[in-house]
């Protein structure tokens, strides 16, 4: 019995060792390392058959080996089973994740055409001027009047550049547009008188200096707020009025201030020529209206030429277009010269009225004038009464530009009537009819 007990104790100890080994195998198996001691317990049962003389106790050890396989068999699947479910879990988040971002991406594409839609209408926007394109046909759309419109164009004294060109425009309208116009030129005292005539309704169109027009429109300079008028508008630039103060060479006069105390033909009283003379005297700190620091002679251009030729005056103010007959007559004799203006004088004139600007008469422009002469100039414009309808002003403006060679044949000054000069020296707003034509030819936008 004691031997059996000893053997049973050994068997129990062996089984315990086997169980410990199995547990170690299962633990180490979870770590993925091979268990080298698992076979070691296998020889342990080998002594069990050795005690063959004890067949009775053999059933006792039989149940003992049974527990050994129990832990080993389930142990292997237990750790692997949880690993298997872990794998399917991974696809679950990825499948929904992919569609979610792509779904919003699809609507994002239609969003692109949305800005494109406004862009398409924007393209026709530049074509908005397209309605203006039919404007050239405007003359043909104008209803032909039952009888031609009577048009009066105010110039200045007969024989002067203003009057010659005013008459040239009148004859051109009668020739080119006889079904629309019956025009004539009117001799006047010049710009100031012409503004009054338009204001009173006596004439439709008038020639005028931009400087005087600026003063009349704004009530400054030779005008006051009480005498100002805004009843006229601009049509087009014509040519420059150039200051030409002519003196005898033997008089030894070198500047306008040297004329103090002498006799000067300043132009017809109240004319633009005479108002220019006032401005010139003012910037030289001289006055002939009140203080009479020189003696003024209020005469026409033709009379001024006679007076200086007869030595009845010491200087004449022949501000006007370059190349006038009066200037050529005097300069051809070789006895006269043109007084130059210093930069300070031109600057003072421009400060007095922004319509004045520096101008240089080229050398040899006149006979016996070998050197260039720096002076001042002011733009001449054609003006129109505001009451004249837009279509009529449009037709007149268009006719002037389309028949410019015809006007240049009347007077060389018309050579300056070009589209690039159309707005030069503009001092008052354009009439809508003139603006309409200038938009048509690209001068205005």
Residue 399 neighbours by CB distance under 10 Å: 22
How far is Cα of residue 254 from the mean position of the Cα atoms in its chain?
A: 47
* pTM check: above 0.75: no
Average pLDDT (212-220) is 96
The answer on pLDDT for 307 being more than 70 is yes
270: DSSP letter: T
311 torsion bin: left (phi>0), alpha (psi -120 to 50), beta (else):
left
Which tokens hold the place of 257?
A: 């201030």
Give the single-character DSSP code of 315: E
Asked if the model's pLDDT at residue 242 lies above 80, the reply is yes
pLDDT for the residue 51: 41
Given pLDDT bands bounded at 50, 70 and 90, which one contains residue 343?
Answer: very high
**Which pLDDT score, from 0 to 100, does residue 20 have?**
64
Closest CA to 280 of 328, 222, 366, 361: 222
Q: Tell me the per-residue pLDDT of 74-98, one tens digit each, with 9 for 90 and over.
A: 333 433 333 333 344 333 333 333 3
Residue 25 confidence (pLDDT): 52
pLDDT at 5 (0 to 100): 56
> In this structure, are residues 274 and 284 in contact, taking their beta carbons and an 8 Å threshold?
no
Q: In degrees, to the nearest 5, what angle opens at C-alpha 360 toward C-alphas 357 and 364?
A: 160
Query: CB of 353 within 8 A of CB of 377?
Result: no
Q: Across all residues in the chain, what is the average pLDDT? A: 79
The C-alpha R_g of the chain, in whole angstroms, comes to 56
pLDDT classification of 13: cutoffs 50, 70, 90: confident
> Which position has the token pair 């209408």?
121
Tens of pLDDT, residue by residue over 360-376, are 999 999 999 999 999 99
Are 423 and 443 in contact by the 8 Å Cβ rule? The answer is: yes
pLDDT of residue 14: 75
Q: Label the pairing between strands 356-361 and 373-385.
A: antiparallel
pLDDT over threshold 90, residue 105? no
Question: If you average pLDDT over residues 404-409, what whole number do you get?
Answer: 97
In which band, very low, low, confident or very high, does the pLDDT at 271 lie, cut at 50, 70 and 90? confident
pLDDT, tens digit, 9 for 90 and up, residues 137-176 = 444 477 788 899 999 999 998 888 999 999 999 999 999 9
pLDDT digits over 109-139, tens only? Answer: 334 343 333 343 344 444 444 444 444 444 4
pLDDT at 293: 95
Q: 261: alpha, beta or left, given left = phi > 0 and alpha = psi -120 to 50?
A: left
Helix (H, G, I), strand (E, B) or coil at 113: helix
Q: How many CB atoms lie within 10 A of CB 362?
A: 11
Q: Hey, what are 167's tokens?
A: 């008459």
| Domains identified in the chain and CATH numbers | 2-77 (no CATH), 146-440 (3.40.190.10)
Distance, in Å, from the CA atom of 296 to the CA atom of 287, rounded to the nearest integer, reads: 10
230 within 8 A of 217, measured Cβ to Cβ: yes
Per-residue pLDDT, 116: 39
- Residue 175's SS3 state is helix
């Amino acid at each position: 019995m004691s031997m059996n007990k000893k053997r049973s104790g050994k068997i129990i100890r062996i089984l315990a060792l086997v169980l410990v080994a199995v547990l170690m195998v299962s633990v180490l198996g979870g770590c993925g390392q091979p268990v080298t001691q698992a076979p070691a317990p296998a020889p342990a049962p080998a002594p069990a058959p050795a005690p063959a003389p004890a067949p009775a106790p053999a059933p006792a050890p039989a149940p003992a080996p049974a527990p050994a396989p129990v832990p080993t068999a389930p142990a292997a699947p237990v750790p692997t089973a949880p690993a298997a479910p872990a794998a399917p879990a991974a696809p679950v988040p990825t499948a929904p994740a992919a569609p979610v971002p792509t779904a919003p991406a699809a609507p994002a594409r239609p969003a692109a055409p949305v800005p494109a839609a406004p862009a398409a209408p924007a393209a026709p926007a530049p074509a908005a001027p397209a309605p203006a394109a039919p404007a050239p046909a405007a003359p043909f759309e104008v209803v032909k009047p039952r009888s031609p419109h009577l048009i009066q164009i105010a110039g200045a004294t007969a024989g002067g550049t203003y009057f010659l060109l005013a008459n040239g425009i009148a004859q051109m309208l009668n020739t080119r547009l006889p079904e629309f116009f019956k025009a004539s030129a009117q001799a006047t005292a010049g710009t100031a008188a012409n503004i009054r005539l338009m204001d009173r309704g006596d004439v439709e169109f008038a020639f005028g200096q931009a400087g005087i027009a600026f003063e009349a429109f704004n009530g400054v300079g030779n005008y006051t707020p009480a005498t100002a008028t805004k009843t006229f508008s601009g049509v087009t630039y014509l040519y420059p009025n150039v200051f030409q103060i002519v003196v005898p060479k033997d008089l030894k006069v070198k500047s306008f201030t040297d004329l103090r105390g002498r006799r000067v033909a300043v132009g017809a009283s109240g004319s633009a020529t005479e108002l220019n003379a006032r401005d010139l005297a003012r910037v030289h700190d001289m006055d002939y209206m009140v203080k009479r620091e020189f003696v003024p002679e209020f005469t026409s251009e033709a009379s001024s030429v006679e007076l200086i030729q007869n030595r009845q005056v010491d200087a004449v103010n022949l501000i006007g277009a370059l190349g006038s007959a009066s200037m050529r007559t005097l300069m051809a004799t070789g006895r006269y010269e043109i007084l130059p203006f210093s930069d300070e004088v031109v600057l003072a004139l421009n400060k007095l009225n922004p319509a004045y600007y520096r101008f240089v008469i080229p050398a040899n422009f006149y006979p016996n004038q070998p050197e260039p002469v720096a002076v001042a100039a002011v733009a001449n414009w054609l003006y129109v009464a505001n009451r004249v309808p837009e279509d009529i002003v449009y037709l007149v403006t268009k006719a002037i530009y389309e028949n410019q060679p015809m006007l240049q044949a009347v007077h060389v000054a018309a050579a300056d009537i070009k589209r690039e000069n159309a707005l030069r020296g503009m001092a008052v707003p354009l009439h809508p009819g003139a603006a309409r034509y200038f938009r048509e030819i690209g001068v205005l936008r």
